[in-house]
Each structure stands twice: as structure tokens, then as C-alpha cells.
Amino acid sequence: MSLNVDKIRDQFPVLHQEVNGRPLVYFDNAATTQKPQSVIDAISGYYKLDNSNIHRGAHTLADRATRYFEDTRAAVKEFINAREDSEIIFTKGTTESINLVASTYGRKFLTKGDEVLISAMEHHSNIVPWQMLCEEKEAVLKIIPVNDQGEIIYDEFEKLLSEKTKILSVIHVSNALGTINPVREMIQAAKKWGAKVFLDGAQSTSHLTIDVQELDCDFLAFSAHKLYGPTGLGILYGKREVLESMPPYQGGGEMIKEVSFEKTTYNDIPFKFEAGTPNIADVIAFKTALDFIREIGKSNIKNHEDELLRYASSSWSEIKGFIPVGIAKDKISVISFNIREMHPFDVGVMLDATGIAVRTGHHCTQPLMQRFGLEGTVRASFSVYNTKSEIDQMTEAVSKIAKIKNK
């Protein structure tokens, strides 16, 4: 089915504006997606009608807010096909979800000489928390290398696995290159050695259908703001038995069963990991974002984005001086590139002058950029509301910019 993109675009107020005198072309979707009117309305609707603290009130508003909040948990469970609602924990974002696991599961179960395995294409948020943990525990951080196409070198990955591997934490889809990693096989391989597997799903959940039971990962993290939802809200999925084995992350209200000065007992999952008043409005609004995705259909979104990827890849490869970075066989709709003899930031600023929003720099993947001997790239990332005519505009703009140094 081809999508009615005009109808979809009508739902996104932010897209209908001029930037620097030109219609906005928003190609920075890997950083954050725009929000449909339904999500914006859900946030203000909550404050207008339902605002109340959850889980502990005897009154109608508290009951309603609690129900809506828990409805989102159930919708997230469906979205990733978790076994039960209690396996879904609300956090601030992917970053906090990773930190939560590193500082609870990691602190409890890692000892000297154990190994944590990550890849060379991780986002900083899937490097630094493990690095901090390894330093504290005298454990070892091992890195799976990446080839020139921007793909994990699978043989090298297998060689790095051993009985010392306690955690494999890997990016499902690269934010910098768009590479889709073979995580199903990687999870199975790591499980043979008894390792727990953490998937960074910040980029995959918006493009691919995710089934955590089929994948058999122990953890999955993602951020609502990359899924047409609000900022400041993340998800941590964890298998029940693994979450139950972990100590709490933060102490405070809600995460307890009983408190005395002598001893505190902790609440059941997921509340054990949700201390304090959560981000109620944004959690409630996130269900609307998931409804938006469900109504269009994940596979329809993917087909549309794949078509944009093919179209842009073939148009831009014709441009003299255009150097793609990351040309994996299996990719989502992200194109990272450089223009010969030009700094990526300058390219980004020149594109902005024509109303086109892209991201430039290291994309929070400095080790990956070092692997490619680059300071950074220009990154265009497409979403469900983007069009071929927007790509044509960028083709024209990039061609002009490239000519400055590539006659």
C-alpha cells in the first residue's frame, strides 16, 4: 500500500512552516521525530482535565490519571510483544534505561575479570555506562569491530564470546550509519555462553517490528521522542526474572512496600524501578503516538521509508564529491555522507539556509568516527511524513554546495 503522505503531513503542525524563507524540509528524524497533533493534544488534554498524581489517590482524577498511565504501559507491552505489563519500566530515555541496568544488574552481578561486550558503532550512551561499570568492578570492556561498509564483523564477534562474557550490549540499528545489526543471531550466540543481552533499540523501534519474546533479549531500551512521542520519556523492557533479580535503581516513594528506619522492603516490578512521581503527562501522551503508528502500520511506514532511502541513495550518488559513509546491505532510512574537501558542519549550515534540517558531527559515536578516520558526517534521516519532492530539494541543494569544491 502506498501511503497518503499529504494526509499524514496534515497531522504535523511543525512541518507547515518556512525556515530561512523556504518550506521546512525536516531530515533530522534520527535525532528526534516531529509530533502529531494528537500527541500535542494528549499532553495539554491531560493538564486541562486529568492532572493528578497517580497510584495513591482515592479520588476520581487520580484514578483516571492512573488508568491512562497504565494503559500506556499495556500499549508498550503490545508494541514490543512483551509477556506482561510489569516488564515495562518508564525512564527518562534510552540513556537512563542503560544506566539503570549498568548500575543495578551490572553492579550486582559483575566481578573482577568479567567481560562486557559492545560494538564499535555504539552511541556514547551505550559505551560510557559500561565503561564506568567496568572501571568500578575491574571488569573488561571488549569491542566488536566494524568493517568498511559499517557492518559488524560477525566472525570477530563470535571470537570475542567466552564464558567471561557476562553482558552483550549492542545497538540494534546504528544512528550514525543506519546499519541494521543481525541481533537475532547475536543474541542466540551470546546466550550459548550464558551472557545477558541488552539491545539499544533507540533507532530500531521506530522503523522495524520488534518482538522481544522472539528475539529473546533480556533488555531493550528506547525513547518515546524518536517514535512521534514526547521528550524526556524512555522505556526499559526487561524479562521478569531478570528484573526481579536486580536491586532497585533509586530510592524514594512508590518503589517501596514498607519503610521503617530499621528496614525497607521494596515494591514489585515495575514499580521497584519507578521511584518518585513519574513523567505522567508524557507517558499518557505516548499511547497516542503508539496509536498513530499502529493506525498507519509498521510495515507501511517501513516500505515508505525504504522507498525514500532507495530514491535518495541513487539521486545523491550521482553528485560529484558525494561520499557515502556506511553502506551496509541491511539499512534503515539514514544516509550519512561527506562532501569532498568540505567540513560537514559547513554543509549543514548551507543546507539550513535553504530550509533543510540535517544533523552534522559525530552523532555521539566518536569511536565509530575514529574507525572511519572522520571528524563527522552529514546525516539525513527520513520518516513517514517525508516525500520524494523533499529529497529532490535536497539533491538540488547538495549539488550546488558540492560544486563549490568539486568542479
* Active-site residue flag, 364: yes
Rule CB under 6 A: is residue 175 a binding residue for ligand PMP? yes
**Binding residues for ligand PMP restricted to 32-91, rule: CB under 6 A:** none
16 burial (CB, 10 Å; 0-12 / 13-18 / 19+) is exposed
Strand stretches in 328-386, DSSP E: 334-339, 356-357, 359-361, 377-381
Distances in whole angstroms, Cα of residue 135 to Cα of each of 144, 174, 325: 19, 26, 32
Of 364, 391, 398, 402, the catalytic one is 364
CB 161 within 8 A of CB 189: yes
- Cβ closer to ligand PMP: 171 or 190? 171
- Cβ closer to ligand PMP: 90 or 322? 90
| Candidate residues 29, 165, 203, 338; the one interacting with ligand PMP per rule CB under 6 A | 203
Bridge-based pairing state of the strands 115-119 and 165-171:
parallel
Region binding ligand PMP by CB under 6 A among candidate stretches 143-151, 199-207, 366-374, 393-401: 199-207
206 Cβ neighbours under 8 A, 6+ residues apart: 29, 33, 226, 227, 228, 383
| Candidate residues 12, 26, 36, 93; the one interacting with ligand PMP per rule CB under 6 A | 93
**Binding residues for ligand PMP restricted to 215-244, rule: CB under 6 A:** 223, 234
| Candidate residues 29, 103, 104, 125; the one interacting with ligand PMP per rule CB under 6 A | 125
- Cβ closer to ligand PMP: 142 or 226? 226
- Cβ closer to ligand PMP: 65 or 289? 289
Q: Could you tell me the end-to-end alpha-carbon distance of the chain, in angstroms, rounded to an integer?
A: 42
| Candidate residues 28, 50, 87, 200; the one interacting with ligand PMP per rule CB under 6 A | 200
CB 186 within 8 A of CB 196: no
CA 261 to chain centre: 40
Length of the chain as a residue count: 407
Which among 368, 319, 316, 369 is positioned nearest to 344, based on CA atoms? 369
Region binding ligand PMP by CB under 6 A among candidate stretches 53-61, 197-205, 289-297, 343-351: 197-205
CB of 266 vs ligand PMP, minimal distance in Å:
25
- Cβ closer to ligand PMP: 273 or 322? 273
Residues near ligand PMP (CB under 6 A):
93-95, 123, 125-126, 171, 175, 200, 202-203, 223, 234, 364
Q: Which residues are catalytic?
A: 364
